[in-house]
């Protein structure tokens, strides 16, 4: 027979910091997926498309990073 009081966490241990870190990790992973999707879309553009917008294909990583992360 299991005793519920013996399975509870001590008062000084909290699940909140772990839940907060998990939420931060999930948000970072969602942002990473957004970055990779945008980068894939940029890399699939033709050279003519790049010429039309006046940018170089070499800037694809920087454009995706600035768009998604704002840095």
**pTM reported for the whole predicted model:** 0.74
Domain carrying residue 59 = 18-69
Judged against a pLDDT cut of 80, whether residue 70 lies above it is answered with: yes
pLDDT at 18 over 60: yes
Percent of the chain whose predicted confidence (pLDDT) is above 90: 72
CB neighbours of residue 39 within 10 Å: 17
Q: Is residue 7 one of the residues assigned to a domain?
A: no
CA–CA distance, 43 with 50 (Å, rounded to integer): 10
Residue 20 has pLDDT above 80, yes or no: yes
13 within domain boundaries = no
Residue 27 forms part of a structural domain: yes
Q: Structural domain tally of the chain? A: 1
Q: In whole numbers, what is the pLDDT of the chain averaged over residues? A: 88
């Amino acid at each position: 027979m299991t005793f519920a009081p013996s399975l509870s966490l001590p008062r000084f241990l909290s699940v909140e910091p772990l839940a907060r870190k998990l939420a931060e990790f999930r948000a970072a992973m969602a942002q990473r997926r957004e970055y990779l999707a945008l980068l894939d879309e940029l890399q699939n553009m033709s050279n003519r498309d790049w010429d039309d917008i006046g940018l170089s294909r070499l800037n694809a990583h920087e454009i995706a990073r600035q768009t998604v992360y704002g840095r």
